[in-house]
Amino acid sequence: MTYRIAVVTAGLREPSSTRLLADRLSDAVTASLGARGEIAEVDLVELRPLARPLADNLVTGFPPPVLDDAIQTVTRADALVAVTPVFTASYSGLFKTFFDVLDKEALAGKPTLIAATAGTARHSLVLDHALRPLFGYLRAVVVPTGVFAATEDFGAAADGGVPDDRLDTRIERAAGELADLLTRRTAARDRTAPGSTNGGTFDDVIPFEELLRRN
């Protein structure tokens, strides 16, 4: 089966550590689904070019076409990966604005992986203190493992060294949890689909008369 994964990244620089983390997460989700015999189609939504359209949407109440395309990409996706830089101990204003303009039902029940980047590991609690409450309010289904990356996590790789194994472990674990959630949901939906012999219909019910004969 093919799953559409929307990856929202709110990095403000080019290149940015936020985009780098988003790319590593999307690669890990693709690999994790591939290991399960599934296919991932990744749609990247970069918020930096959408700053002005987002402001226009807030003022007018109507999204410009380029922003509407991004909104539809996230709304129609089977799963979401959301990555933000940390500003003043929380998600960035650009990141929050994008999710403010989504329809209130857009993320309801959507499997979601949250991630953040910052200069130091002191900001790692942003995952649980800011991002989980936000996506909980939007009724997304957030996987247990969030991924936080400080500047030092990318330092070794940038210098030609070996990337931090702990960051790689978190990325792989979170990606696996998102893939598991997607595939389990599909399996459960198939079992309860009309005409399924695994549940959801009465095709396999034994008549009462037959039960009496067996006794």
- Enumerate domains of the chain plus CATH numbers: 2-214 (3.40.50.360)
Q: What integer pLDDT is reported at residue 121 of this predicted model? A: 85
**Which amino acid belongs to residue 215?**
N
pLDDT of 106 strictly over 60: yes
Q: What is the pLDDT of residues 171-215, one digit of tens each?
A: 999 999 999 999 998 877 766 656 555 555 545 556 656 555 555
Residue 157, number of CB atoms within 10 A of its CB:
13
pLDDT of 120 strictly over 80: yes
pLDDT of 92 strictly over 70: yes
Q: What integer pLDDT is reported at residue 211 of this predicted model? A: 53
Q: Is the pTM of this model over 0.75?
A: yes
Q: Are 147 and 208 in contact (CB under 8 A)?
A: no
**Which amino acid belongs to residue 214?**
R
Q: What integer pLDDT is reported at residue 165 of this predicted model? A: 75
d(CA 95, CA 50): 10
Q: What integer pLDDT is reported at residue 68 of this predicted model? A: 98
